[in-house]
Structures are given as C-alpha cells and as structure tokens.
Amino acid sequence: MKITLRKFQETDFDSYYQLVGDLRVMKMVTERAFDLNEAKEDFAKLLQNDQIDERFGHFMMINSNTNEFIGLGKLSIEDRKTERAEIGYLLLPKFWGKGIGHKVARILVEMAVSTKLKHLYAIIDPKNVASRKILEKQGFVFHEYKSFDGLPGEILVKEL
C-alpha cells in the first residue's frame, strides 16, 4: 500500500474524530476517547500548531490507491527555531497489524532528516509494545519514563 501524507485541513474534522473518538485508538494515548467538544477543541489546536511551519505538523495518512483515510501522522514542533520535533501516529483499527505504522514512522523520519532538525522524540504508553518496536526499528532509544497528566509515558529519542 502506498501512503500519501497531507496536512489536515478544517474540512477534515470528521476523519480526525474517527480516530480520537474511538476508545480502541485512544486506549494507549489518553485511556479514553474524546467527546465531540473535546475533539473540536483539540482539532483547533492541531490546526493552529500546523501553521508554525509548512514542513511540520499533523498529517492525514491516505491510501494513495483508494484515497481512503488511514490515520494521523505527526511531525510536530513548538516553534520555528527548534531543532527537535515530536513524531507520532494513530491508525484506524482496521489498519492495525498491516505494517503501516512502520511505513509511516519511516516516512516521518525521512521528512525530519530533510530539515534542520537534530533530534526527534516520541511519547508512548509503556505498555504499547507495538509502537516501541516500530520506533526502535527507526533507531529510537529509551530516554525516560515520565507522567503526562497522570498517565504513564515512555519517551524515546533519536538523534539525526
């Protein structure tokens, strides 16, 4: 499957809500699905963050052959001058176990390498063995365990 990435647009909220409104997807992120209002607020923040730099942000993952929405890929920065970005991905459950996470992680790392970035980091639930394996295959290594809003998190890093 060939995957295309494009930044989310205001008209893509329904696709975004398919992800964050699904407990199966969000179990390893927030341990709960977002309700509609929370998803709208989060989506507005996502769109705002995406304005920092056209090369970075939150990307819709689309099956190039069928134009079907697969999930979200993230290469996010906090400001233009930073040398580090957060990498992440969320897939609709019907696409789990098909190697798509590996493909998207590779695409995002390649995007980062083509920029001024020097560091990548990812935050995962320590129980999310599949995501850890995907990241380790891309050269990420364990950095630390940390609590995020009371939820356990594992930070992995990659030097570029």
**Residue pLDDT, tens place only, 78-136:** 998 899 999 999 999 999 999 999 999 999 999 999 998 999 999 999 999 999 999 99
Q: What is the mean pLDDT of residues 3-16?
A: 97
Q: What is the mean pLDDT of residues 59-76?
A: 96
What residues pair up with 59 in beta bridges, in sequence order?
7, 73
Domains of the chain with bracketed CATH = 3-159 (3.40.630.30)
- Report field, pTM of the whole predicted structure over 0.85: yes
Structure-block tokens of residue 69? 């929405």
Structure-block tokens of residue 117? 């970035």
Structure-block tokens of residue 89? 């991905």
Instruction: Order across the sheet with 141-148: list the strands.
Output: 3-7, 57-63, 69-76, 84-91, 119-124, 151-159, 141-148
